[in-house]
Amino acid sequence: MAPMDIEEIIENFEFLDDWDDRYKYLIELGAILETMPADEKIADNKVQGCVSQVWLTSAAVDNQPDPILHFKGASDAHIVSGLVAIALAIFSDRRASAILETDEKAIFDRINLSEHITPQRSNGLKSLVQRIKQHAHAALEQ
């Protein structure tokens, strides 16, 4: 399944007043992530810096000098899976240059994400974003 549109996610967050409901929504987002096959959950795809296990893969959708990258992500934790879903909604299926130019912090601030997740999850999310941007940078260098 393709990731949800980030604007739709933001609207849904704004609709939910209570952070308990927002956590439930995060879990729902994680549950609809594109399935990552077990053979892709390997050390090379593991995101370092996350307390929970998180894996990320990318593939170029086209052969352009500035390719569109499709990401798959997974986690062994429900809320973290939701954070992965948000990151993929921001970055997946976009040109590598657009990924590098994206200000994810501004998006996270729109849903007050950094204020409501633990420092460990926040650090893990930063590690995931760094890894996504590393994939984008590498795709531009090829």
Active site residues: 50
On whether the CB atoms of residues 6 and 86 are closer than 8 A, the answer is yes
Tokens encoding 16: 């939910």
Q: Where are the beta strands (DSSP E) in 18-141?
A: 54-60, 68-75, 94-95
On whether the CB atoms of residues 3 and 89 are closer than 8 A, the answer is yes
Provide the pairing of β-strand 68-75 with 54-60: antiparallel
The sheet that has 68-75: what strands, in order across it?
54-60, 68-75, 94-95
Q: Which is nearest to 81 in space by CA: 123, 28, 38?
A: 28
